[in-house]
Amino acid sequence: MLAQAVAKELTTNGVEFVATDSSLDIAEAPSVDAYVADARITHIINCAAYTRVDEAEREEELAMRVNCIGPGNLGRAAQVHGAHIVHFSTDYVFDGSARAPYAEDALCKPATAYGRSKWRGEQRLWGTRDSISRGRAVQIVRTSWLFGEGGKNFVSTMLGLMATQEELRVVADQVGRPTYTRDLAAASLTLLGLGAKREPAESGIFHFANSNATSWHAFATRIVELGRELGFDLCTRRIAPIASSEFPGLARRPAYSVLDTRKIERALSQAPRSWDAALRAYLSGLPKT
């Protein structure tokens, strides 16, 4: 889902690129190094991730392979060949116990296997940065609650349920900031020097999400409201708020994972639009049937 948004943004910006899928195993260091060398890569954008949060509790080794070993290999290849690199991470590196938005330097204390794999991936990648004098950017962008074209996400799932069910039950005690993949892609490419600005920002960890915090329940309520306004045939009449304990999973979701985005706003001289505006843009582009 995110990779498709990045590819579209690169095309819009007139940037030539090559994309890989299962053709390249990022957990295999020799393959990564050879690919970066042969293709003469100047910028690496890592959208690969193991994101099945509950399954990661049973498959932590696989999650570590993709989310930790892979970014480390990409970072080392970028270092050897002098390439810039941006990698995407997650709000799950935090345990969700905060009561104010998480800044980039907040204590990481992941409470899930998925979160641990992403945090360790950050550490491996960050360890490949070199001196400022070389001018090579190593950037980590943490994000949250992704939705967008080309992949299953909360919004598409809700629309499917709303088309057939009169009542839904949605968790109301988890709070975060939804993120539209197109907005994340545009911000990250600008940060890397491939967007509106043609010089990369400094190396560092950045947070990006659309503006304003909300709960999953409030998010779902707005989806049905906007969906009806935009012409979707939805039959849901009531969305009942429930506690996380009523919807148990193998992995404990963060109760509060609101990201503070002021650092990336300063770097880009622009604040992200609201998730409500981003949601409207996403829904407007979807087929109504």
Q: Hey, where are the domains in the chain?
A: 2-153+177-212+259-273
2-153+177-212+259-273 sits in which CATH class?
alpha beta
For residue 131, pLDDT over 70 is answered with no
Predicted structure pTM score: 0.96
Q: Please state the rounded mean pLDDT for residues 97-120.
A: 97
57-63, Cβ contacts within 8 angstroms, sequence gap of 24 or more: 57/112, 57/113, 57/114, 57/250, 57/251, 58/250, 59/113, 60/113, 60/116, 60/117, 63/113, 63/114, 63/117
- 71: CB partners within 8 A, 6+ apart: 26, 46, 87, 121, 122, 124, 125
At 48 the pLDDT is: 96
CA distances to 104, 111, 127 from 148, rounded to whole Å, are 24, 26, 31
Positions marked active-site: 114
Each residue's pLDDT tens digit, 32-91: 999 999 999 999 999 999 999 999 999 999 999 999 999 999 999 999 999 999 999 999
The string of pLDDT tens digits covering residues 217-251 is 999 999 999 999 999 999 999 999 999 999 888 99
- Those residues with Cβ within 8 angstroms of residue 13's Cβ, 6 or more apart along the chain or in another chain: 189, 194, 195
**Average per-residue pLDDT for the chain:** 95
